[in-house]
Amino acid sequence: MADTTVLTLVWGAILAFAVFMYVVMDGFDLGIGVLFPMFGVGKQRDTAMNSIAPVWDGNETWLVLGGGGLLAAFPLAYAVIMSALYAPLIAMLLALVFRGVAFEFRWRDPGHRAFWDLAFSGGSLVAAFMQGIMLGALLQGVHVEGRAYAGGWWDWLTPFSLLTGASVVVGYSLLGACWLNWKTEGETQEHARRLMRILAPLTLVALLAVSVATPFLGNEYFQRWFSMPRVLFTAQVPLIICILTWRFIRSLRRNYELAPFVLTLAVFGLSNVGLGISMFPYLVPNSITLQMAAAPPSSQVFMLVGAALLIPLILAYTAWSYWVFRGKVAHEGYH
């Protein structure tokens, strides 16, 4: 029994990692999509898009791993969550259709470039917003009876989920701006820096707002954060975020290129940890725990072998692919 508990925790950790990787990797390229209309037509937009064209597909694969992994390791949670979040989920999937094809279609049809640019930015915006809404809707809890979702199809829509939706949009945008600051130069980079100065404080406000609202949603979140002696541990999270913020401001003043991106990723990482503190040991607040939703050990062990061997390999060749396209994206010749 102890072994199966460990196994389930390991799978919980792997899925948390997949979600984090998704946010790390697709966050900035969705953010670039959100910011797209704020960049000039031509050189700036082409550069922004070219900086992610070779990697967006791999980035989105982490989303598929999140879905596939949840189905495999915690089928009950997958079934309940996906039907509870039906409307925002479908909206996100359709938004990803628009933005994904825009990478190719934009170049195939210069006559309709404006339309596909809109598809790219609108798709990115809606996808990011819906991901935030899904996060909020899950945090505030869904109505479960037996082994099934028992709520309506608009239950997800609350002020809190709108807040998390907006927060994710702002946060992804900051990641996108930081990425462009790192990967571009000249006027595109300067523009990205201006956006960073606006988006960084907005992200902080959003993070603060969500953090303050969450403990008051009920679902024992308050105890998980503030009960002794847990608070000694959980208090480190906002503390480190404060330190990261200070480093971020410094890196912005000194015009560092890579540091703001890495620091923002670290903030996102800590937000993930915070999410873990709020949720654990539940996958669906107050109704389905990791243990309850776990697939049998035979399924989890079978996949664990594959995950242990393949995830390091995937990280290796993904890193290689990023390394191949390292350095600044040039934009000469596009004007």
Partner 1 sequence: MFHDADALLLARIQFGFTVSFHFIFPAFSIGLASYLAVLEALWLKTGKALYLDLYRYWLKIFAVVFAMGVVSGIVMAYQFGSNWAVFSDRAGPVIGPLMAYEVLTAFFLEAGFLGVMLFGMSKVGRSLHFFATLMVAIGTMISAFWILSVNSWMQTPAGHAINAAGQFVPASGWLPIIFNPSFPFRLAHTVIAAYLTTALAVGGVGAWHLLKDSRQEHARKMFSMAMWMAALVAPVQVFVGDLHGLNTLEHQPAKVMAMEGHYQSHAHGAPLILFGIPDDDAQHMSHAIEVPRLSSLILKHDLDAPLAGLDTIAPENRPAVEVIFWSFRVMVGLGLLMFTLGAWSLLARLRGKLYEWRWMKRFAVLMGPAGFIAVIAGWITTEVGRQPFTIYGLMRTAESASPLAAPAVGASLVAFVIVYFSVFGMGSWYLLRLMSRAPQPHEPEPANAPAHAAGITSAPAFTAAVGESRHG
The one segment of 2-10, 159-167, 253-261, 314-322 that binds partner 1 by CB under 8 A: 314-322
Distances (CA, A) of 229 to 186, 224, 275: 51, 10, 19
- Asked if 39 and 48 count as a contact pair (C-beta separation under 8 A), the reply is yes
How far is 83 from 70, CA to CA, in rounded Å?
Answer: 14
What is the smallest separation between the CB atom of 192 and partner 1, expressed in angstroms? 16
Closer by beta carbon to partner 1, 31 or else 69: 69
How far is 7 from 291, CA to CA, in rounded Å?
Answer: 10
**Which one of residues 106, 122, 131, 207 is an interface residue with partner 1 (CB under 8 A)?**
106
**Which one of residues 35, 80, 204, 244 is an interface residue with partner 1 (CB under 8 A)?**
80
- 13 binding partner 1? (CB under 8 A): no
Closer by beta carbon to partner 1, 123 or else 141: 123
- Asked if 170 and 199 count as a contact pair (C-beta separation under 8 A), the reply is yes
H-assigned helices in 85-148 = 86-108, 113-139
How far is 199 from 127, CA to CA, in rounded Å?
Answer: 19
The count of residues interacting with partner 1 (CB under 8 A) is 81
- Residues 209-238 touching partner 1, rule: CB under 8 A, are none
The one segment of 83-91, 168-176, 208-216, 271-279 that binds partner 1 by CB under 8 A: 83-91
The one segment of 1-9, 88-96, 244-252, 258-266 that binds partner 1 by CB under 8 A: 88-96
Closer by beta carbon to partner 1, 109 or else 226: 109
- Residues 50-79 touching partner 1, rule: CB under 8 A, are 50-51, 53-55, 57-58, 60-61, 63-65, 67-73, 75-76, 78-79
**Which one of residues 125, 130, 195, 303 is an interface residue with partner 1 (CB under 8 A)?**
303
- Asked if 284 and 81 count as a contact pair (C-beta separation under 8 A), the reply is yes
DSSP string, 2-65: HHHHHHHHHHHHHHHHHHHHHHHHHHHHHHHHHHGGGSPTTHHHHHHHHTTTTTHHHHHHHHHH
Closer by beta carbon to partner 1, 80 or else 195: 80
How far is 209 from 204, CA to CA, in rounded Å?
Answer: 9
Closer by beta carbon to partner 1, 74 or else 221: 74
- Residues 262-291 touching partner 1, rule: CB under 8 A, are none
The contact pattern for partner 1, residues 168-197, with x = CB under 8 A and - = no contact, is: -----------------x------------
Distances (CA, A) of 174 to 30, 189, 192, 206: 10, 13, 9, 12
Size of the chain in residues: 335
**Which one of residues 93, 198, 235, 258 is an interface residue with partner 1 (CB under 8 A)?**
93
- Asked if 18 and 62 count as a contact pair (C-beta separation under 8 A), the reply is yes
What is the smallest separation between the CB atom of 179 and partner 1, expressed in angstroms? 14
Closer by beta carbon to partner 1, 47 or else 214: 47
- 38 binding partner 1? (CB under 8 A): no
Residue 91, Cα to own-chain centre: how many angstroms? 16
**Which one of residues 150, 208, 239, 243 is an interface residue with partner 1 (CB under 8 A)?**
150
Tell me the torsion sign for CA atoms 31, 54, 62, 92: positive
- 114 binding partner 1? (CB under 8 A): no
**Which one of residues 41, 104, 208, 226 is an interface residue with partner 1 (CB under 8 A)?**
104
**Which one of residues 13, 94, 198, 235 is an interface residue with partner 1 (CB under 8 A)?**
94
